[in-house]
Structure 1
Amino acid sequence: MPRPSGVLRYLMTAFSARMADEGMAVAVVTLAAYRTGSAAQGAFVLTAWMAPHVLAAPLTGAAAARARRPRFFYVGALGGFALAISALAMSIGRVPLPVALAVAAAGGCCGPAVSGGLSSLITRLLPAGAERDRAYSWDAAIYNAAAVAGPGATGLVSAALSPITAALMLSAAAACAAALMALLPLRPDTAAARVSPARLRQDLAAGARIVRREQELRAITAATCLAFIGIGALTTTSVLLSESLGSAGAGGLLMTAFAAGALAGTLGIARLRPAPSPQRLALIGLIGTGMGLAAAALAPSVPTAAASFTVAGACDGLVLTATLRIRADHSPPRWRTQVFTIGAGLKISAAALGSVLAGPATTGAAHSYLTAIAVLQAAAALLYTLIRRSSRADPLPSAGTAVADGCPGPGRPGDRLA
């Protein structure tokens, strides 16, 4: 058994890396406005930063799984993340936009290692069981703590000192994560080590195929992607909602309430003994998120809306905890990192789509948009239930019942993974 300090060190690593990632949205937009007088360049740079996630996720997972020393792979990824943030801090508004976009895209390629890859390392710190389940609850809490601390700290440092100082602070946080990663006491993954190395192309296809064929992974991935189309539109919608309620500028308060609720929800689940099943958590969380946002759409004032956002965030925290546990429990060791990175990449892409769809929204349509977001959460809960029920009659073997070497069973002709 690894020492408890290993889990604590992991949580410190994850918080530092994710704080840097979460703060980037505020940092690049603020820095662009500071140097150019317009936030437009920051929006383009942010898009370039997020865009590579869905394409880089399978490659990141395959590369991490094939790495003989995964600790060094993550040190390199986090170090590259830190360098890209520093390069953007120096280049936004000072170099031609295509150059800044290229730097952002390069840094974004390291994103899957931060968003999903890190979570897969918990299985190298703890064996399956109650302790690992609780570790994933704490990991989900770290996601939400970073979502609160990253933008908040970036905004405060930008206002008190300067936007470039804030960006360099985020770079330092990512560099700190790289240093902590080098000290993690990772267990050797013996099940994965017995698998013969496959060609990279086969590894890339394997992760996606596992997500599609394993019923629990397919259900949670489809449901969370549908839900995150709505969550991606939530920031824009919250700003418009606050304006419609007569408190322009309170949109940030609503999103802070949502993030704080998510943090409280994940911390609460981490303390439950025994932990509820992840399937039940996912369903309750999706329904609760939808109900909280539906209540916010009917709220007569910002304080009431903020309370509803807090409830919705707490339920969204349950969904994240459940998602991490399901990925860990139902993916074979050989492709576990790919499952985590692919799932995270798809969610980020779904959120980006939701953000685009919210672009045409107006103040008068804020309540309708928020209601639609709530409906998407309920639809995600229904989709999750339907996929799980239909999959019970599926004759295909699942990754959760993999053969001893960590590979899924034979499945359909031509579906071999290695």
Structure 2
Amino acid sequence: MVGAVAARTGDEMSGPALLVTGLAVTGSPVTASWLLAGLTVSAAVGGPLLGVLLDRVRRPGRALAWCLAGYAGGLLLVVHALGRVPAGAVIAVAVATGLLGPALTGGWTAQLPLAAGGPERLARANALDSMSYNVAGLAGPAVVGVVAAMSGGMTATLVCVALLTAALPIAWTLPAHERPERGTPRLGASVLDSGGRGTSIRGELAEGFGAIVRNRALRRATAGSMVSCCGLAMLVVSAPVLAAELTGEAGHGALLLAVTAACGLAANALMARRDRPWDVVLGWATAVLGVGMALAALAGSFWIAVVAAAVAGAGEGPQLTALFAVRHREAPARLRSQVFTTGASLKITSFALGSAVSGPLAAYSAGWALLAGAALQAAALAVLAPWRR
């Protein structure tokens, strides 16, 4: 869990750090939002391929460690090139770096059954794992805000890289799959499935997507979370703009995101006590998130915006816990990493699309961007209903 917190805190820092750095160097909210979008949009390609790799190799933690190293190196290259080369080239580097993004999210969570020590401990471990996202979401923006205020966005990115590097040795020692060593497969190679038949990487990708599409609960949870995450991006991008409109200081937007994460952490702490009807929780948590975003859109003072951020966090935290619980419950064991990394990549890509749209909207009005995000939460709620299996 320590490694997951370090890696995810670095991941949570990377987006705000690029936003702050891009805004400082270019002075354009649109360019800054496209940097964030570039870092996340390529996850749709990277997630499924990473899932196949993690399901195939005997030591998935070592593959995660290499992904962490690649992601950290890509961030260093982005901040070094920003302002020195054309913005399009920097965004292209961010896109390449983002291919490894799902490893920092779904890649860790997919290893939870191996690290939990038994099915009876999985429910609590899942809630604690979800809390690690909230801890990262709390610490990441807060650290970016403090470091950027003191030393600038580039220094915040360096701190982010340091956290990713600190998680490397922990990822390297994660438990192994209980099957004979096959080695890391080449792209296009095939392995034998449980029935003794050869399965290509293309076939395994089809199986991973099929596991999500054919299972009603997984399909509904995945689609709903994608729509909701697209709307959540509008909260993230709009937070510094809203703070600037209300207080004159864009840095206070990091405080709003930290409040959201803190309330999500508190809500997940309550959820960790026992198992729950997770499909129902997924629905009502999405509704609460939408209410918080609508309240933020109508905020006339910074303190109302803080309350709105708290309401949004009370929904966003349990929503993530419920989503993971549904995936653990429904995913086939041999395709678990694919289900988690594919689901993570789809959410990250939805976040990227939301970031790209919300940049121009927030530049016009943070309130309009937040209302659009609240409308997307309502659409996600419609996808998730009925909430029962």
Determine if the TM-score, normalized by the shorter chain, exceeds 0.5.
yes
Q: Which residue does the alignment assign to 1:400?
A: none
Distance verdict in 2 for CA 1:315–1:37, change over 3 Å = closer
Q: Which residue does the alignment assign to 2:131?
A: 141
Q: State whether structure 2 residue 290 is matched by structure 1 residue 290.
A: yes
Among 54, 65, 70, the residue aligned to 1:80: 70
Q: Which residue does the alignment assign to 2:186?
A: none
Give aligned-pair identity as a percent.
32
- Measure, in 1, the Cα distance between the counterparts of 2:174 and 2:371: 44
Unaligned regions of 5+ residues in structure 1, if any? 1-10, 393-418
1:254 Cα deviation after fit: 2.8
- Measure, in 1, the Cα distance between the counterparts of 2:32 and 2:139: 20
1:210 Cα deviation after fit: 1.1
- Measure, in 2, the Cα distance between the counterparts of 1:242 and 1:333: 45
Which 10-residue stretch deviates more, 222-231 or 314-323? 222-231
Among 77, 80, 83, the residue aligned to 1:90: 80
Q: Which residue does the alignment assign to 1:314?
A: 314
Is the Cα–Cα contact under 8 Å of residues 224 and 380 in structure 1 kept in the other structure?
yes
Q: State whether structure 2 residue 154 is matched by structure 1 residue 173.
A: no
Matches within 5 A, 1:268-347: 268-270=270-272, 272=273, 274-347=274-347
Distance verdict in 2 for CA 1:194–1:99, change over 3 Å = same
Unaligned regions of 5+ residues in structure 2, if any? 181-191
Distance verdict in 2 for CA 1:186–1:133, change over 3 Å = farther
Is the Cα–Cα contact under 8 Å of residues 258 and 311 in structure 1 kept in the other structure?
yes
- Measure, in 1, the Cα distance between the counterparts of 2:152 and 2:365: 35
Q: State whether structure 2 residue 213 is matched by structure 1 residue 212.
A: yes
Return the letter of the residue paired with 1:225: M
Is the Cα–Cα contact under 8 Å of residues 193 and 199 in structure 2 kept in the other structure?
no
- Measure, in 1, the Cα distance between the counterparts of 2:327 and 2:265: 20
Q: Which residue does the alignment assign to 1:384?
A: 384
TM-score by length of structure 1 reads: 0.80
Q: Helix, strand or coil for the counterpart of 1:188?
A: coil
1:169 Cα deviation after fit: 2.1
Q: Which residue does the alignment assign to 1:264?
A: 266
Q: State whether structure 2 residue 142 is matched by structure 1 residue 152.
A: yes
Q: Helix, strand or coil for the counterpart of 2:83?
A: coil
Distance verdict in 2 for CA 1:310–1:335, change over 3 Å = same
1:355 Cα deviation after fit: 2.5
- Measure, in 2, the Cα distance between the counterparts of 1:102 and 1:318: 34
Return the letter of the residue paired with 2:288: G
- Measure, in 2, the Cα distance between the counterparts of 1:30 and 1:376: 26
Return the letter of the residue paired with 2:123: D
Among 61, 78, 95, the residue aligned to 1:105: 95
Q: Helix, strand or coil for the counterpart of 2:167?
A: helix
Among 31, 49, 52, the residue aligned to 1:59: 49
1:343 Cα deviation after fit: 0.9
Is the Cα–Cα contact under 8 Å of residues 51 and 105 in structure 1 kept in the other structure?
yes
- Measure, in 2, the Cα distance between the counterparts of 1:28 and 1:375: 27
Distance verdict in 2 for CA 1:78–1:287, change over 3 Å = same
1:118 Cα deviation after fit: 1.0
Return the letter of the residue paired with 1:328: H
Q: Which residue does the alignment assign to 1:405?
A: none
1:36 Cα deviation after fit: 6.3
Structure number with greater Rg is 1
Q: State whether structure 2 residue 216 is matched by structure 1 residue 226.
A: no
TM-score by length of structure 2 reads: 0.85
1:69 Cα deviation after fit: 2.6
Distance verdict in 2 for CA 1:240–1:183, change over 3 Å = closer
- Measure, in 2, the Cα distance between the counterparts of 1:311 and 1:130: 32
Provide, for residues 7-56 of structure 1, a one-character-per-residue CA deviation record: whole Å limited to 9, x for no partner.
xxxx1111111112111123334445666676776555433322211111
1:337 Cα deviation after fit: 0.8
1:121 Cα deviation after fit: 0.4
Is the Cα–Cα contact under 8 Å of residues 217 and 326 in structure 1 kept in the other structure?
yes
Q: Helix, strand or coil for the counterpart of 1:226?
A: helix
RMSD in angstroms over aligned alpha carbons? Answer: 3.0
Q: Which residue does the alignment assign to 2:257?
A: 255
1:145 Cα deviation after fit: 1.4
Is the Cα–Cα contact under 8 Å of residues 295 and 308 in structure 2 kept in the other structure?
yes
Q: Which residue does the alignment assign to 2:183?
A: none
Q: State whether structure 2 residue 118 is matched by structure 1 residue 117.
A: no
Distance verdict in 2 for CA 1:45–1:140, change over 3 Å = same
Is the Cα–Cα contact under 8 Å of residues 105 and 341 in structure 2 kept in the other structure?
yes
Is the Cα–Cα contact under 8 Å of residues 29 and 360 in structure 2 kept in the other structure?
no
Provide, for residues 102-134 of structure 1, a one-character-per-residue CA deviation record: whole Å limited to 9, x for no partner.
433332111111121111000111256442111
Which 10-residue stretch deviates more, 165-174 or 291-300? 291-300
Q: Which residue does the alignment assign to 1:203?
A: 204
The one of the two structures with greater contact order (alpha-carbon pairs below 8 A, sep at least 6) is 2
Distance verdict in 2 for CA 1:284–1:28, change over 3 Å = closer
Return the letter of the residue paired with 1:144: N
Among 10, 15, 20, the residue aligned to 2:5: 15
1:351 Cα deviation after fit: 1.9
